[in-house]
Chain A
Amino acid sequence: MSETILGIKDLTIRYSSQAVLQVDSLDIQEGEVLAVIGPNGAGKSTLLLVLAHLLNPDTGQVLFHGKPIQHENELAYRRRIALVLQEPLLLHQSVFENVAAGLKFRGLPHSEVKQRTNEWLTRLEISHLSNRPAYRLSGGEAQRTSLARAFALEPELLLLDEPFSSLDAPTRARLLQDLHTLLSQTNITTVFITHDLDEALLLGDRVAVLLGGVLRQVGRPQDVFTAPSDGDVAAFVGVETVIAGIVASSQNGLVTVVADDVHLEAVGDIPIGARVWFCLRPEDITLSISEGSVISSARNRIIGRIMRMTPSGPLVRVVVDCGLPVVALITRGSANEMKLQEGQSVTATFKATAVHLIPR
């Protein structure tokens, strides 16, 4: 079992007496990448500033290797970590000087500063920009410089606050891939803040969901995405169909849930009468127009009328009114072949195993 590098205990941050962040406990293990996801204003950046000890908590402690960080040891602590913020915040100096900045703060010998700076300029593929003034960099180059500046410190803990959110999509995709490679090569313990689920899935060994200043779920990505702990987490991680229902029967691991007179089947072991959230991801729902009986292994078939169709990239989001709104995600090609249009009657099909039940 790996060691806990950083821990949080009973932490609260208040702004004018209102708690904006409340984390009872969070442990960051050596070598892991913890992705913290949440919508804007959830307190993600505040959490990162607390972890960097740049914001003092109103109550609670941040423990580094089990010892609380206090005013006396905060400089020593900050010299073992590195921080990358959303904006690159480079100094008005050359790229080289920027990457070397943290090493110089640590008073390392000149030759070592030079060697490590050059190494990380190369690893982030910006060595050709070494002498360029920072104000003449593109957004992607500036963020690469900011990452090189942090990696050059060879920190025990890397704190990243949405480093790619202001970049265009292709630049972001490349940089994300490069960061993924670097993190797996260096094995640096990392806390990565993002509001983007794809980034969290790619980078995170574990995912922490922060909603309204409270950590709602921490776990492996597949657990958080397929088995969200409550309705809010489910909605945030993209389980778009969340139906309130009551368990009507339960036997042999198969559960029937009644919601608004619709009977739905799911896999689970929940007692009869329990109130549950019935959660479905839109990509797990199949739409068909043949009203005759098609033999299929899918346990759930419900007929409804298309309420709304919204194209999104190569896909179309279809909201079907089956007595309850069900959201399906299908390809544009399928939608065209089936000549789907709003108001049309369709059958929504999904497997009992695709359903995730959350007690409510």
Chain B
Amino acid sequence: MSSDILEITLLSLRVSLLATGISLFIGIPLGTWLALRRQLRGRGFMLSIINTGMALPPVVVGLFVAMMLWRSGPLGSLELIYTPTAIVIAQMIIATPVVTGLTASALQQLNPRLRLQLLGLGASPIQMIFSLWREARLPLLAALMAGFGSVISEVGASMMVGGNIRHHTRVLTTAIVLETSKGEFQNAIALSILLLILAYIVNLGLTIIQQRGTR
């Protein structure tokens, strides 16, 4: 068991960091776009969909992704079911609405006239957006933490699409479920504490970055 722990922990970290990273690439631009396009038709509807997505049950996402990836499913030929990649895909779907929704609300909190001021000082649209991100860095890092927190802690999707296969797709949360069902409560508790420590270390790092340079 103990030799497996390092492997499980590293896989958890790798999968969740990768999923969070991809969700940032999608969520931050999408959230920014939704926040800045005030006159966009259907913007309120899109934001409500995103906000609902923030509360997506991981097990539902897992079921949906599994159905897609099953051998008989539409993407079955990719042979991704029960692989770490499948977990990354499912977790990315969970984290993206969280990052998008929190990015949009972070930027909507800025003074709308700040954009005019930046453009009026000669900022290009890209420079203007980078300046806005910098202004909203606290809530944006909070979005990142919330995104990571939502996937490192989920078990439903990892179980459905990963299958909890030893040496292959077993992550901390699925291992905890397994150990508990076997009656190995000591192992389950040890893994739980490890998961908490891991989440704490990542968030501590992000919090230090977030609070640097503020009052």
Chain B interface, DSSP helix/strand/loop, else mixed: helix
Interface bracket on A: 20 to 34
A82 CB-CB contact with B under 8 Å: yes
A89-B114, A91-B135, A133-B215 known; A52-B120 Cβ under 8 A: yes
Q: Which residues of A contact B1 (CB under 8 A)?
A: none
Nearest chain B CB to A100 CB, angstrom units: 11
Q: Among A54, A91, A133, which residue has its beta carbon within 8 angstroms of that of B131?
A: A91
B113 CB-CB contact with A under 8 Å: yes
Give the contacts of A81-118 with B (CB-CB under 8 A): 81-83, 85, 87, 89, 91-92, 101-102, 105-106
> Would you give the 0/1 interface string for B89-127, flagging 1 where the beta carbon is closer than 8 Å to chain A?
000000000000000000000010110111111111001
Q: Which residues of A contact B212 (CB under 8 A)?
A: none
B134 CB-CB contact with A under 8 Å: yes
- Count B interface residues, CB 8 Å: 18
Q: Among A54, A81, A135, which residue has its beta carbon within 8 angstroms of that of B116?
A: A54
Q: Among B116, B122, B134, which residue has its beta carbon within 8 angstroms of that of A105?
A: B122
Q: Contact check, B116 vs A78: say whether CB atoms are below 8 A apart.
A: no
Q: Which residues of B contact A302 (CB under 8 A)?
A: none
Nearest chain A CB to B124 CB, angstrom units: 6
A54-B116, A85-B116 known; A91-B134 Cβ under 8 A: yes
A-B contact pairs, 29 of them (CB 8 A): A52-B120, A54-B119, A75-B124, A78-B121, A81-B122, A82-B120, A83-B116, A83-B121, A85-B116, A85-B120, A87-B111, A87-B113, A89-B111, A89-B113, A91-B131, A91-B134, A91-B135, A92-B135, A101-B121, A102-B122, A105-B121, A105-B122, A105-B123, A105-B124, A133-B215, A135-B215, A153-B121, A153-B122, A159-B120
Q: Please list the residues of chain B having a beta carbon within 8 angstroms of any beta carbon in chain A.
A: 111, 113-114, 116-124, 127, 131, 134-135, 214-215
Further pairs besides A153-B121, A153-B122: 14, Cβ < 8 Å: A49-B116, A75-B122, A78-B119, A78-B120, A83-B121, A85-B117, A87-B111, A87-B113, A89-B111, A89-B113, A92-B134, A102-B121, A133-B215, A159-B120
